[in-house]
């Protein structure tokens, strides 16, 4: 079996919870992470990726994971697997070698808005993108085609606290523009 070259790897921050705290470890993966993917963290330990988040500001990739057997880990177990207590203020950005530009389209109050993002890998259904101030977009459709707008379009909706009350003005403040389709 051939070993994977680090040149084409995707750096991710893998986050898990134990004893009410978040724990992080950095990995270089051979390809883009996705929900359901298993990440071997030790000879006999595999964590399953539940959610993938890309940060709009630094391009950082964060994967939220849980034990593949559904067990709860202790802080001691996390440390033994190379995880450290996660401090988001200290987090370093991790980026991929080949960014992909995508146009994200969302509907707010019946109007279509769009914004171009640079993602560190191709988008997929269920990918979360964190916008400037912590607002989350969840991609539900990815469209690839030959048109004048962009090579990749993603249809997404805001999720999380306050998502249902977001105004067009707030979206424009986040860098979204009216999309005339």
Residue 4 — very low, low, confident or very high, per pLDDT cuts 50/70/90?
A: very low
Q: Per-residue pLDDT tens for 35-94?
A: 989 999 888 888 999 999 887 666 678 889 988 787 888 999 999 999 999 876 555 545
- The total number of residues shown for the chain amounts to 181
Residue 135 — very low, low, confident or very high, per pLDDT cuts 50/70/90?
A: confident
| pTM for this predicted structure | 0.68
Distance from C-alpha of 55 to C-alpha of 94, rounded to nearest angstrom: 10
Contact present, 11 and 17 (Cβ < 8 Å): no
Contact present, 177 and 169 (Cβ < 8 Å): no
Partnered with residue 159 across adjacent β-strands are: 136
Coil, helix or strand at residue 30: coil
Residue 109 — very low, low, confident or very high, per pLDDT cuts 50/70/90?
A: confident
Residue 96 — very low, low, confident or very high, per pLDDT cuts 50/70/90?
A: very low
118 CA to centre of own chain: 12
* Other C-beta atoms lying within 10 Å of the C-beta of residue 129: 22
Greatest alpha-carbon pair distance for the chain in Å reads: 54
């Amino acid at each position: 079996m051939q070993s994977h070259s680090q040149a084409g790897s995707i750096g991710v921050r893998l986050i898990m919870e134990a004893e009410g705290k978040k724990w992080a470890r950095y990995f270089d993966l051979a390809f883009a992470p996705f929900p359901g993917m298993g990440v071997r963290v030790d000879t006999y330990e595999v964590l399953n990726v539940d959610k993938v988040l890309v940060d709009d500001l630094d391009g950082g990739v964060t994967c939220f994971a849980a034990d593949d057997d559904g067990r709860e880990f202790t802080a001691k177990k996390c440390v033994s697997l190379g995880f450290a207590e996660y401090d988001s203020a200290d987090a370093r950005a991790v980026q991929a070698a080949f960014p992909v530009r995508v146009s994200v389209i969302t509907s707010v109050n019946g109007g279509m808005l769009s914004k171009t993002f640079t993602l560190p890998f191709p988008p997929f259904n269920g990918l979360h993108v964190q916008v400037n101030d912590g607002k989350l977009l969840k991609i539900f459709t990815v469209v690839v085609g030959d048109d004048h707008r962009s090579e990749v379009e993603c249809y997404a909706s805001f999720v999380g606290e306050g998502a249902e009350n977001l105004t067009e003005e707030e979206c424009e403040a986040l860098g979204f523009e009216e999309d005339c389709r």
